[in-house]
Amino acid sequence: MLDAAATAAMTAPAGRPPIERRRRLSPAALSVTNQKVGRAYSPIVIAGAVRLADFVLISSIGICLYLGYAAKISGFYWEYIAAILGMTVAAIICFQAADIYEVQVFRGQVRQMTRMISSWAFVFLLFIGASFLAKLGNEISRLWLSAFFFAGLAALIAERVFVRALVRNWARQGRLDRRTIIVGSDKNGEELVEALKNQDDSDIRVLGVFDDRNDARALDTCAGSPKLGKVDDIVEFARRTRVDLVLFALPISAETRILEMLKKLWVLPVDIRLSAHTNKLRFRPRSYSYLGEVPTLDVFEAPITDWDLVMKWLFDRVVGGICLLLALPVMAIVALAIKLDSPGPVLFRQKRFGFNNERIDVFKFRSLYHHQADPTASKVVTKNDPRVTRVGRFIRKTSLDELPQLFNVVFKGNLSLVGPRPHAVQGKLQSRLFDEAVDGYFARHRVKPGITGWAQINGWRGEIDNEEKIQKRVEFDLYYIENWSVLFDLYILLKTPLALMTKSENAY
């Protein structure tokens, strides 16, 4: 049912989406948005990084002790190395079984240390027992084994003390909180807020509630959380401050109201869930995801999160850095040609839409005469446009004017190599802004924009002079977001040169 509802909410026409016409938020909402909030850190990535650190730390200590002592006495045996790696893997499995790879556990000290010491001792007892049964006791250096146990334990304790300090600092900065807003300021909303706040070791931080109703059912506060505005205000609110989760406190029976709200909210790069804590209709346990003990039904998920985000970041930095080095000679030649062709600066800077509709500065090689530059893109470049220089025509046709955006990718980090192309903030189709021409236009900003993209290699690049072209761009961009993978990025990147040669009829 929810899949169908989600699809309907995404595809059904919603009229004019109230997104980029900046709304005036209530004083309560402004007080929240004025607070300084850092970027969120993924608990999944943190736990994975600690596992990796444990593996490297334990195996390195065991191998170093073996090479520094046991190998000099008895010679080098690969069996020792295999045993060290086996013990390391066993230790991580035991740590996992003891539930010490959780961010909430990292914040504590006594529970974390006791479980870790017990698990570490169990691994060595297991190894000693296995060695005895295999009659290998005389071949194992007791001094090496003792040194490995105590040195490994000391290193693990030191590492956990460091991780604890780091995690507690992140917690104070709010980087580990799941900043949540509740939709529904009534009795159901109040019960939901209370359930979330009463949980121990919860990472949910309720910022406030939103509700369209102005009658007696709409409360000014829900369990101490203030009403911040109406549902139409959520998009503007989420653009001004970090929001990680939108949680509906409305019953499933309010399907029509929920769908109307989803039409407005699905363009945001956040998780959207429907609370099921008060619903009498119960699904199978596997149908739910849980916020502590509160059951919820997933409606939309934020795209490219956790390890996917790490992989995309690495792809952009590593592959982008290589592309930048390879492109430097070409960029030097283009810069010289621009300087010789017409007076003015070589680079052109323009405000464009970035992730979550943030305004970012995008760099390009200047392709227009300097005195006719159009930083806001209020007038679209057309075929045989007299504002375009001779060199400008060539670099626009071949997209060489986009090469400086590699600096955005590698150094500024506000662009990706692959993603929806960033449009100018005043980009228009005839007299209408793009978001007025296409419903759900801003959903393409749920991920970082890119230098190239799925729409571009399929021919939807260059001038936008009719509604089909902008609709197709949005359609292909949304397909990319929903189907992203590193291999998909690599495929698009490799196809880009061919697309520039064969699908450039709209590039002027």
SS (H, E, C) 205-245: EEEEEECCCCCCCCCCEECCEEEEECCCHHHHHHHHCCCCE
Q: Which residues pair with 273 in a beta bridge?
A: 247, 298
pLDDT higher for 253 or 9? 253
Q: Answer yes or no: is pLDDT of 10 > 60.
A: no
pLDDT (0 to 100) of residue 351: 86
Q: Which pLDDT band, with edges at 50, 70 and 90, does 506 fall under?
A: low
Three state DSSP letters for 265-300: HCCCCCEEEEECCCCCCCCCHHHCEEECCEEEEEEE
DSSP 303: S
Q: Which pLDDT band, with edges at 50, 70 and 90, does 6 fall under?
A: very low
Least confident interval from 371-380, 423-432, 465-474: 371-380
pLDDT (0 to 100) of residue 329: 95
DSSP SS3 for 418: strand
pLDDT (0 to 100) of residue 358: 87
Q: Which residues pair with 296 in a beta bridge?
A: 275, 289
Q: Please report the beta strands in 369-449, taking only residues with DSSP state E, as ranges in sequence order.
A: 416-418, 428-429, 432-433
Q: Which pLDDT band, with edges at 50, 70 and 90, does 206 fall under?
A: very high
Residue 228: partners with Cβ closer than 8 Å, 6 or more residues away: 25, 26, 28, 29, 32, 181, 207, 208, 209, 210, 237
Q: What phi and psi, each to the nearest 5 degrees, are found at residue 228?
A: -100, -15
Say how far residue 14 (Cα) sits from the centre of its chain. 27
pLDDT (0 to 100) of residue 332: 95
pLDDT higher for 44 or 220? 44
pLDDT (0 to 100) of residue 273: 92
Residue 211: partners with Cβ closer than 8 Å, 6 or more residues away: 183, 184, 185, 186, 189, 218, 227, 230, 231
pLDDT tens digit sequence for 222-237: 888 898 988 889 988 9
pLDDT tens digit sequence for 329-355: 999 999 999 999 888 899 988 888 899
pLDDT (0 to 100) of residue 8: 41
Q: Which residues pair with 464 in a beta bridge?
A: none
The CA distance from 248 to 431, in Å, is 37
Which amino acid does the sequence have at 467? Answer: E
DSSP SS3 for 387: coil
DSSP SS3 for 403: coil
pLDDT higher for 84 or 424? 84
User: Helix 78-97 to helix 110-133 angle, to the nearest 10 degrees?
Assistant: 140
Place of tokens 């020792």: 80
Q: Which pLDDT band, with edges at 50, 70 and 90, does 208 fall under?
A: very high
Q: Answer yes or no: is pLDDT of 381 > 90.
A: no
pLDDT (0 to 100) of residue 141: 77
Q: CA 222, 228, 230: angle at the middle one, nearest 5?
A: 105
pLDDT (0 to 100) of residue 217: 67
Helix, strand, coil % (nearest 5) of the chain? Answer: 55, 15, 35
Instruction: Write out the two tokens for 428.
Output: 């228009």
Instruction: Write out the two tokens for 157.
Output: 């304790």
pTM for this predicted structure: 0.83
Q: Read off the pLDDT of each residue in 303-322 and give the average, rounded to a whole number.
A: 94
Instruction: Write out the two tokens for 506.
Output: 């709209």
CB burial of residue 245 (10 Å; 0-12, 13-18, 19+): buried
The CA distance from 308 to 331, in Å, is 31
Measured in Å, how far apart are the chain's first and last C-alpha atoms? 46
pLDDT higher for 32 or 448? 448
DSSP SS3 for 181: strand
Instruction: Write out the two tokens for 326.
Output: 């390879």
pLDDT (0 to 100) of residue 88: 95
pLDDT (0 to 100) of residue 440: 81
Least confident interval from 144-158, 194-208, 221-235, 285-299: 285-299
Count of CB atoms situated within 10 Å of the CB of 55 = 15
